[in-house]
Amino acid sequence: MFVRTIKGDLAPGTLGFTHCHDHLFVFKTEQTQLPENLLLNSYDKTKNEVLRFIEKGGRCVLDAQPFGAGRHASLLERLCRETEINIVPSTGLHKSTFYKPDFWSFDAHLSEIADLFISEIEEGMYDYDYYDSFRRRSVIRAGAIKIATDEQGLTEKNKKVFKAAIIAHKKTGAPILTHTELSKWGLEQAKYLIAGGVPSQSIIISHMDRVINISKHIEVAQLGVFLAYDTIARSKYHSDEIEVSMLKTMIQNGFCNQIVIGMDSTRERFLTYGGPIGLDFILTHFMPMLLKFGISEEDIDTITVKNPQTALSFKRK
Ligand SMILES: [Zn+2]
């Protein structure tokens, strides 16, 4: 088993403290309609966030920006080289509202989408280009497949992308990370992927913690998948005290081995881009809070170090 990072395929045990859902670069492109507050488009600003993250003990970040959605392969590679951070970059496709209605994937055949995902994992990810997402391939290989449902759930459009992810997983063993819109459809996503033959331990359902609905989280966790708790320091949804109490409840219910964390960072939050917190927030503020509220160091280590090793490793049947 290995984790595919920009530095190469690593033994899972070497990863260290990991954010399993985050964003380092998001650039505008002609084919996207991304809100301005998501853009992370300064190399130096992002680099300074990463340097502080490393200084505080951070080691690895899954960059959850998929194909054609403003992802920047060559800057991720440079960042990795200049800061020593481990980065797991993503192939896949984002929620459809982030792309213009005439974006390539909407009319593409299932096999074309699956081939894109497989080639980005095996050969190299397409590099950033404002006009053409297929302009040139980089040497960086993707280590995860990011897919999403919109408000409407598993529509035919989204099912095509999910099917492509299943095909790509079966071919490569790459882990699958999903976006849920305000926690909706996480259960359906997990069931659909598992029914398609993806092992539950290769599935990470993100943003379930946007909404405080523990019985729903438990229902999803009972399928054996990972849940990415990434609504940390986002007071527009709820306080960190509530976030901690949800985590605590999940641990008490026996699901410590299935939680991973991240910040799902955006421009309006990063210090270097003028926001209130940094990429090191979990290390400097949230982990001390977890300890204060009685979560053990061992459980914190499981969530931030051990679970990512399993969740991000390539598995083949
Ligand atoms: Zn995200």
Q: Which domains are assigned to the chain?
A: 3-311 (3.20.20.140)
pLDDT band at 236 (very low <50, low <70, confident <90, very high): confident
CA of 215 to the centre of ligand 1 (A): 23
Distance (Å, whole) CA 156 – CA 163 = 10
Contact at 8 Å (CB) between 87 and 63? yes
CA of 95 to the centre of ligand 1 (A): 10
CA of 254 to the centre of ligand 1 (A): 26
Q: In the prediction, which pLDDT does 287 show?
A: 97
CA of 146 to the centre of ligand 1 (A): 9
pLDDT above 90 coverage of the chain, percent: 95
CA of 199 to the centre of ligand 1 (A): 22
Distance (Å, whole) CA 144 – CA 175 = 5
Mean pLDDT, residues 273-288: 96
Distance (Å, whole) CA 280 – CA 270 = 10
CA of 7 to the centre of ligand 1 (A): 22
CA of 49 to the centre of ligand 1 (A): 17
Distance (Å, whole) CA 34 – CA 65 = 12
Mean pLDDT, residues 204-233: 95
Question: Helix, strand, coil shares of the chain as percentages rounded to 5?
Answer: 45, 15, 40
CA of 65 to the centre of ligand 1 (A): 7
Distance (Å, whole) CA 144 – CA 178 = 10
CA of 265 to the centre of ligand 1 (A): 7
Choose among 72, 77, 68: nearest CA to 132.
Answer: 68
Q: Which two tokens stand for residue 98?
A: 């982030």
Q: Which helix (H) or strand (E) holds 299?
A: helix 297-301
Q: In the prediction, which pLDDT does 135 show?
A: 96
CA of 177 to the centre of ligand 1 (A): 10
- Provide the phi-psi class of 101: left if phi over 0, else alpha when psi is between -120 and 50, else beta: alpha
CA of 216 to the centre of ligand 1 (A): 20
Contact at 8 Å (CB) between 11 and 80? no
Q: Per-residue pLDDT tens for 62-102?
A: 999 999 999 999 999 999 999 999 999 999 999 999 999 99
Q: Kindly report the pTM of this predicted structure.
A: 0.97
CA of 66 to the centre of ligand 1 (A): 10
Contact at 8 Å (CB) between 230 and 182? no
Count the residues in the chain.
Answer: 317
Choose among 273, 187, 252: nearest CA to 224.
Answer: 187
Is residue 317 over pLDDT 70? no
pLDDT band at 276 (very low <50, low <70, confident <90, very high): very high
CA of 228 to the centre of ligand 1 (A): 10
CA of 267 to the centre of ligand 1 (A): 12
Q: Per-residue pLDDT tens for 133-190?
A: 999 999 999 999 999 999 999 999 999 999 999 999 999 999 999 999 988 999 999 9
Beta strands per DSSP E along the chain: 3-5, 8-10, 18-22, 60-63, 86-92, 144-148, 176-179, 203-206, 226-229, 259-261
pLDDT band at 241 (very low <50, low <70, confident <90, very high): very high
Choose among 285, 238, 282: nearest CA to 260.
Answer: 282
Is residue 278 over pLDDT 60? yes
Q: What is the mean pLDDT of the chain?
A: 96
Distance (Å, whole) CA 261 – CA 61 = 10
Distance (Å, whole) CA 164 – CA 118 = 9
Is residue 316 over pLDDT 80? no
117 class by beta-carbon count within 10 Å (0-12 exposed, 13-18 middle, 19+ buried): buried
